[in-house]
C-alpha cells in the first residue's frame, strides 16, 4: 500500500510541476511522470518496488491510452495524399528499423528493435496537440496520420511476428480479428443509435453512468478477444476506441463532450499516470549505469529513431508546408514510447532480449518524449497562428 500512496502523490505532483515549469518551458506532463517514477524506483530512492497490483493498474492505463488514441483518429487524416504518404513513410521505417536490428542482433530480437524504431506515440502526441489547439489544423492532421499509422502498424507487426505462431497462421488469426472487428464497425455505422444516445444522455449525471460502463465493456471485450486470439491486447484497445467513436458519431455534441470528459477523467486522471509513473519505476537504470557503453547507446538510439522514423514521417507533411513545418512533423513522428515499452516488455518476458537492451530503447523513447515535441514547438515558432487560421482541405488528389 505505501507504493500506491507514493504513486498517487506523484500523480498529483506531476501536473503541478508541469504547470510551474510551463511558465518558462512547455514540457509534456508524462516527462515528469516518468522522471518521478525513476526517482522513487529501485534504481534510486527505492520508495516504490515492482508490485503485481500496480502492474495490473498500469496495464489498464496503457490500454486506456490506446483506447483514447483510437477515439481521436480523424478519418480525413488517413485519406488521400496524407494517408498514403503516412503509410509509405511507415513502411520505409519498419524496413529500415529491422535492417538495423539485423545488423546488431538476429531473429526475433531484430524484429523487436525494428518495431520499436518504427513506432510513433500517438497517445502521447494527442494530448499535446489538443492542449495546443492543433488537432484540426493541417499540421495536426498530418501528425495524427503519422501517429495513427505509427501505432497501428507496429501493433499489427507485433501480432504477426511476436505472437508465438508462424507468420502465416498469425496473419490468418489477425484476419479473423479484423473480420469480427469489421462486423462490429459495420453494426455501429448502419444500425440507428438514437436510443443508445438518449440513454447515455439520461444517465450522464446519475449513478448509472451508462456511457462509462459501456466504454469499459467494449474495451474489455475487444481486449479479451485479442488475448484469446493471442494477438496484442493493445490492438483490441485501439480498435475499441474507433468503435466507440463510431457509436457516438451522431450523438448531440454536448453529450459527446460530456462523455469524452468522463472518459478522459478516468484515463488521464487515474490510470494513464500510473502507467507512465510505473514505467519509470521499472526502468532498469542500474543496467545502464553498470555499463557506460549502454548508457552511451541511449542518445545514439535517439538519433537513429529520428532518422528511421522521423525522416520518413516528413512525407506526410501538409501540401505546401514550409521547411520548418516539415521538420516539426519529423520531430513529432519520431516521438515514441508506449509501443517501445510494450514491445520490449514482450522481448524481456519471452527472454528474446535482455533487460539492459530494453532499457536502452525505453531510455531513447523517454528522451524523444522529452525533447522532440519541445523542439517541434520551437521550430514552428510563429507558424502556429497561421496554421490555425488555415482551413483543412480534402487532399484526396
Average pLDDT, integer, range 74-96: 86
CA distance 124 to 69: 9
Read off the pLDDT of residues 257-296 as tens digits, 9 standing for 90 and up.
999 999 999 999 999 999 999 989 988 888 888 888 888 9
Read off the pLDDT of residues 158-181 as tens digits, 9 standing for 90 and up.
888 876 667 778 888 889 999 999
| pLDDT above 50 for 385 | no
Q: Which three cell numbers stand for residue 280?
A: 519509470
| pLDDT above 50 for 199 | yes
Average pLDDT, integer, range 360-380: 90
Which has the closest alpha carbon to 124: 57, 34, 43? Answer: 34
Say what the pLDDT of residue 368 is: 94
Q: pTM of the full predicted structure?
A: 0.84
Which has the closest alpha carbon to 306: 29, 93, 31? Answer: 93
Cα dihedral: 395, 66, 227, 359 (round 10): 110
Say what the pLDDT of residue 77 is: 62
Class level of CATH domain 51-389 = mainly alpha
pLDDT level of residue 393 (50, 70, 90 thresholds)? very low
CA distance 151 to 390: 27
Q: In whole numbers, what is the pLDDT of the chain averaged over residues?
A: 87
Say what the pLDDT of residue 137 is: 85
Say what the pLDDT of residue 76 is: 62
Read off the pLDDT of residues 321-365 as tens digits, 9 standing for 90 and up.
899 999 999 999 999 988 998 899 888 888 899 888 999 999 999
Which has the closest alpha carbon to 158: 235, 59, 242, 237? Answer: 235
Say what the pLDDT of residue 395 is: 42
Amino acid at each position: 500500500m505505501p507504493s500506491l500512496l507514493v504513486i498517487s502523490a506523484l500523480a498529483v505532483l506531476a501536473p503541478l510541476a508541469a504547470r510551474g515549469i510551463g511558465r518558462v518551458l512547455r514540457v509534456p506532463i508524462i516527462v515528469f511522470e516518468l522522471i518521478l517514477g525513476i526517482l522513487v524506483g529501485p534504481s534510486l530512492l527505492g520508495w516504490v518496488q515492482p508490485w503485481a497490483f500496480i502492474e495490473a493498474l498500469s496495464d489498464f492505463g496503457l490500454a486506456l491510452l490506446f483506447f483514447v488514441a483510437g477515439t481521436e483518429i480523424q478519418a480525413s487524416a488517413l485519406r488521400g495524399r496524407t494517408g498514403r504518404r503516412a503509410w509509405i513513410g511507415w513502411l520505409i521505417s519498419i524496413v529500415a528499423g529491422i535492417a538495423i536490428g539485423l545488423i546488431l542482433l538476429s531473429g526475433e530480437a531484430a524484429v523487436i528493435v525494428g518495431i520499436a524504431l518504427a513506432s510513433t506515440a500517438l497517445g502521447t502526441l494527442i494530448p499535446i496537440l489538443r492542449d495546443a489547439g492543433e488537432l484540426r489544423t493541417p499540421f495536426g492532421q498530418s501528425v495524427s496520420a503519422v501517429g495513427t499509422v505509427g501505432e497501428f502498424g507496429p501493433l499489427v507487426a507485433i501480432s504477426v511476428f511476436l505472437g508465438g505462431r508462424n507468420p502465416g497462421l498469425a496473419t490468418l488469426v489477425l484476419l479473423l480479428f479484423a473480420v469480427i472487428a469489421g462486423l462490429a464497425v459495420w453494426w455501429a455505422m448502419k444500425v440507428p443509435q438514437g436510443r443508445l444516445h438518449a440513454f447515455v444522455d439520461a444517465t450522464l449525471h446519475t449513478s448509472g453512468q451508462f456511457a462509462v460502463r459501456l466504454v469499459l465493456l467494449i474495451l474489455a471485450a475487444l481486449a479479451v478477444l485479442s488475448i484469446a486470439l493471442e494477438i496484442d491486447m493493445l490492438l483490441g484497445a485501439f480498435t475499441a476506441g474507433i468503435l466507440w467513436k463510431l457509436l457516438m458519431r451522431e450523438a448531440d455534441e454536448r453529450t459527446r463532450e460530456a462523455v469524452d470528459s468522463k472518459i478522459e477523467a478516468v484515463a488521464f486522471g487515474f490510470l494513464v499516470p500510473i502507467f507512465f509513473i510505473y514505467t519509470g519505476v521499472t526502468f532498469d537504470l542500474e543496467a545502464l549505469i553498470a555499463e557506460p557503453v549502454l548508457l552511451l547507446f541511449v542518445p545514439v538510439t535517439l538519433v537513429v529513431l529520428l532518422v528511421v522514423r522521423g525522416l520518413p514521417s516528413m512525407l506526410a507533411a501538409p501540401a505546401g508546408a514550409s521547411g520548418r513545418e516539415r521538420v516539426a512533423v519529423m520531430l513529432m513522428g519520431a516521438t515514441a514510447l508506449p509501443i517501445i515499452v510494450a514491445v520490449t516488455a514482450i522481448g524481456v518476458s519471452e527472454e528474446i532480449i535482455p533487460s539492459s537492451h530494453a532499457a536502452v530503447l525505453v531510455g531513447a523513447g523517454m528522451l524523444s518524449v522529452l525533447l522532440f515535441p519541445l523542439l517541434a514547438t520551437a521550430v514552428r515558432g510563429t507558424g502556429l497562428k497561421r496554421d490555425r487560421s488555415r482551413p483543412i482541405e480534402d487532399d484526396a488528389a
